[in-house]
A and B are shown apart, each in its own frame.
Chain A
């Protein structure tokens, strides 16, 4: 499933990085500690977080994450948007919690094959 499909199905607002909407989503990860995400997120993950500063883009690029979803109504600042556009990594917004969104993603069958 592509980022675009999840964005539309979950009705997520696109804040930036729209040129990456065709990236493939393989699984999800929830985390607000950047080192934890560096250690445990995997390529193609949709990352749910409350961190909205521009350093999240470096993490997403280095880990080859599919997209970032800012949860609980958090919004990116201009620097974060600019960085997301530059890197082509979608930053999507939701008023829902990580738990709710990850639950929906999991139920939709987006998860690692062995789970």
Chain B
């Protein structure tokens, strides 16, 4: 499974926010893949991309795809997440007032990702950054596992090289 797409995400850049996710969606649409998978990938990619824009340092979003499914990886060189369990709790947010007035930072991003992905893993290290991997299968035969998968973004960059 090779990388098909990789985009840089700029922290605090609300002008270009979402463009990586839109490009991923357009690519998947052009491949004529299952509409439900495209919809779920779009939701998760957007939430993860916006998290980097809002909270992270600069980062990268990548998409790879083969006949079994789609893998999205997102990595940033931001401050890291204090308490991942808390961050996964619906309604919990550390977003500022300004961002919230724009309709972001409702504490629904990570819960949306958990709900819409078949496999989800998040790693975060204080002052280093955060890494997310999300998998979406074209059918249920793989289940909620990612065993044997190559996570190309992780393998290629690690935290240190992101920024």
Interface residues of A (CB under 8 A from B): 32-36, 38-39, 43, 49, 51, 53-55, 58-59, 61-64, 79
Interface residues of B (CB under 8 A from A): 14-15, 17-19, 21-22, 25, 39, 42-43, 46-47, 50, 102-104, 106, 108-109, 112, 115
Residues A62 and B108 in contact, CB atoms below 8 Å apart? no
* Chain A to chain B: the 4 pairs with minimum beta-carbon distance, closest first: A58-B18, A35-B108, A62-B42, A34-B103
Residues A39 and B104 in contact, CB atoms below 8 Å apart? no
Chain B residues whose C-beta falls within 8 Å of the C-beta of A64 in the assembled complex? 39
State whether A62 and B102 are in contact (beta carbons under 8 Å apart), knowing that A36-B108, A54-B15, A55-B18 are contacts in the complex.
no
**Of B15, B39, B42, B109, the contact of A35 (CB 8 Å cutoff):** B109
A interface: dominant SS = helix
**Of B14, B15, B43, the contact of A38 (CB 8 Å cutoff):** B43
In whole angstroms, how far apart are the Cα atoms of A66 and B39 in the complex?
15
Residue of A with least CB distance to B112: A39
Residues B22 and A61 in contact, CB atoms below 8 Å apart? yes
Residues A58 and B22 in contact, CB atoms below 8 Å apart? yes
Residues B21 and A33 in contact, CB atoms below 8 Å apart? no
Chain A residues whose C-beta falls within 8 Å of the C-beta of B15 in the assembled complex? 54, 79
Residues A58 and B17 in contact, CB atoms below 8 Å apart? yes
**Of B39, B42, B102, B115, the contact of A55 (CB 8 Å cutoff):** B102
**Of A43, A49, A51, A59, the contact of B46 (CB 8 Å cutoff):** A59
Residues A51 and B25 in contact, CB atoms below 8 Å apart? no
Residues A39 and B22 in contact, CB atoms below 8 Å apart? no
Interface Cβ pair total, 8 Å cutoff: 61
Residue of B with least CB distance to A64: B39
Residue of B with least CB distance to A56: B103
Residues B104 and A63 in contact, CB atoms below 8 Å apart? no
Residues A62 and B21 in contact, CB atoms below 8 Å apart? yes
Chain B residues whose C-beta falls within 8 Å of the C-beta of A79 in the assembled complex? 15
In whole angstroms, how far apart are the Cα atoms of A38 and B17 in the complex?
15
In whole angstroms, how far apart are the Cα atoms of A64 and B106 in the complex?
22
Chain B residues whose C-beta falls within 8 Å of the C-beta of A62 in the assembled complex? 18, 21-22, 25, 42-43, 46
State whether A33 and B25 are in contact (beta carbons under 8 Å apart), knowing that A53-B14, A55-B14, A59-B46 are contacts in the complex.
no
Chain A residues whose C-beta falls within 8 Å of the C-beta of B106 in the assembled complex? 33-36
Residue of A with least CB distance to B20: A58
Chain B residues whose C-beta falls within 8 Å of the C-beta of A33 in the assembled complex? 103, 106, 108
Chain B residues whose C-beta falls within 8 Å of the C-beta of A55 in the assembled complex? 14, 17-18, 102-104
In whole angstroms, how far apart are the Cα atoms of A71 and B53 in the complex?
27
In whole angstroms, how far apart are the Cα atoms of A6 and B112 in the complex?
31
Task: Given contact pairs A33-B108, A58-B18, enumerate 11 new A-B contacts (beta carbons under 8 Å).
Answer: A34-B50, A34-B106, A36-B106, A38-B112, A39-B43, A39-B108, A43-B39, A53-B14, A53-B102, A55-B102, A62-B25
